Structures are given as structure tokens and as C-alpha cells.
Amino acid sequence: MVVSRNFCIMAVQCWSDILKTSKKTALICDGKRKIHYLFTDGSEMAEEYDMNTDALVSRRLRSKNNLGGQGQWRTEVGETSHNAMPSVDSDTISENSSNPLFARKDTKSSFRWRVRNISYPMDTYNVSVETAERCCIIRTTNKKYYKKFSIPDLDRCQLPLESSALSYTHANNTLIISYKKPKEILALEQELMRELRKLKGTNDGDVDCKTQ
């Protein structure tokens, strides 16, 4: 147990080291602190924090693809930049607006996911933690919705997933799933926040991003 505890601390250390070595650019606008990280392997991360509450509003990641081209931004936290009115004349395939929308929005003490636009009764849902596969699964008894998602924060720090930390409720056509943050994560986030406050942010919108 002691060994695994030590191992955990090492992994947390590892991710915080990666964050420390990355090139960071800060920018403050619209009441948000925006941070751009450029990692040594060429991948990028962009985070947005609310200035008042210090809550993470959005986090996006992008990495170079196999052939060397720029990949797409993947949204990890926050709304996907999904335009509310998908253009009718688009040639390709896109999800209909009547489908449930899945997004992550964290609070201070827990990871939280919201599935909006889903109107089945409470007893339809079954959310479980798959410890072996390192993911959570939302199932519905009427076989209308299914979602498998991982918690990248825990994966990066190589922390185990626990079923006891998970809870979910349904109200106003929204299914809300919460996972209590373990104390390693809380400590890491506090440390990161202290670091980010130290970063000199410019207030101007137009600024050269020196990491690019």
C-alpha cells in the first residue's frame, strides 16, 4: 500500500513536471484567465479560468498528427464549439440537435459532467465505473443513450478510479454526474493555480503568442 501510495505521488509529480517544463502564455480577457501551454512534444493545451471563482471553464488539447499536420482541437472541459444552428447546406453528416449533448464542467471539489437534452425518467439511467477499463459508462435501460468516457485528469496522474466517488442526479432534462476529486488532484490544482497567478498576463486582446 505504501509502495502504491509513493507511486501515485510520483505520477502526480510527473504530470506537474510536464506542466512546469511547458512554455506557458497567459492572457486575461472577458473576465477569464486564458493559458496556452506548449509541451515539449509539440502538442498544445489551452485552458480558461474564471477570474472571480478560479473555476476551470474550458480546456482544449491539440497534438500533431502522424503525418506532421496540425490536428483538431479536442475539447476536454467546457462546451464544444458546436454552433447552435448547423448549416443546412453542409455536405457532410452531423448530429441532429435533438440528440443529448455531453459536456464536462467541473466544480471546485468534483469533476462534473452534464448530459443535456435527455428526458427519460431517473430510473432509466445506470452510471457505473469500470475500474479495469479506466472509464465510466452511462447506460440507459431503453437503449437510447450510451456513453463511455474517461477522466483524463486521473489518467495523467495514474490515480485509480473508485465507484464510491461517483454520484448522479437527473433534473430539468439534464443528467448530472459528479466524481469527487481525490486529494492528490486538489493539491495539484491548488499548486497550479498559484503558479498561474504568478504568470504575467497581458490585458490586451491582440498580443503575440510567443509560444507559437
Partner 1 sequence: MATCTGWHALNCFSRKSTINLRIIFFFAVFVKMANTKVPEVRDITRIERIGAHSHIRGLGLDDALEPRQVSQGMVGQLASRRAAGLILEMIKDGHIAGRAVLIAGQPGTGKTAIAMGIAQSLGPDTPFTALAGSEIFSLEMSKTEALSQAFRKAIGVRIKEETEIIEGEVVEIQIDRPATGTGTKVGKLTLKTTEMETIYDLGSKMIESLSKEKVQAGDVITIDKATGKISKLGRSFTRARDYDAMGAQTQFVQCPEGELQKRKEVVHTVSLHEIDVINSRTQGFLALFSGDTGEIKSEVREQINAKVSEWREEGKAEIIPGVLFIDEVHMLDIECFSFLNRALESDLSPVLIMATNRGITRIRGTNYQSPHGIPIDMLDRLLIIATSPYTEKETRQILKIRCEEEDVELSEEAHTVLTRIGQETSLRYAIQLISTAGLVCRKRRGTEVQVEDIKRVYSLFLDESRSSQYMKEYQDSFLFNETQSAQMDTS
Q: Which three cell numbers stand for residue 36?
A: 496556452
Residue type, 189: E
Decide: is 82 part of the binding site for partner 1 (CB under 8 A): no
Count of residues for the chain? 212
CA distance 50 to 27: 12
Q: Is the CB of residue 147 less than 8 Å from the CB of residue 204?
A: no
| Closer residue to partner 1 in complex, CB, 90/164 | 90
* Site track 142-171 with partner 1 (rule: CB under 8 A), x = hit: -xxxxxx-----------------------
| Closer residue to partner 1 in complex, CB, 15/145 | 145
Decide: is 69 part of the binding site for partner 1 (CB under 8 A): yes
Decide: is 41 part of the binding site for partner 1 (CB under 8 A): no
Among the listed residues 84, 37, 31, the one whose alpha carbon sits nearest the alpha carbon of residue 205: 31
Decide: is 42 part of the binding site for partner 1 (CB under 8 A): no
Decide: is 202 part of the binding site for partner 1 (CB under 8 A): no
Q: Applying CB under 8 A, which part among 38-46, 66-74, 115-123, 189-197 lies near partner 1?
A: 66-74
Decide: is 116 part of the binding site for partner 1 (CB under 8 A): no
Instruction: Output the smallest distance, CB 94 to partner 1, in A.
Output: 5
CA distance 188 to 197: 14
Q: Applying CB under 8 A, which part among 87-95, 103-111, 153-161, 185-193 lies near partner 1?
A: 87-95
Q: Which of 31, 68, 121, 205 binds partner 1 (CB under 8 A)?
A: 68
Q: Is the CB of residue 26 less than 8 Å from the CB of residue 34?
A: yes
Query: CA triplet 158, 164, 165: central angle to 5 degrees?
Result: 60
Q: Applying CB under 8 A, which part among 7-15, 28-36, 93-101, 155-163 lies near partner 1?
A: 93-101
CA distance 64 to 147: 27
Q: Applying CB under 8 A, which part among 18-26, 43-51, 60-68, 169-177 lies near partner 1?
A: 60-68
Residues 18, 150, 58, 91, CA torsion sign: positive
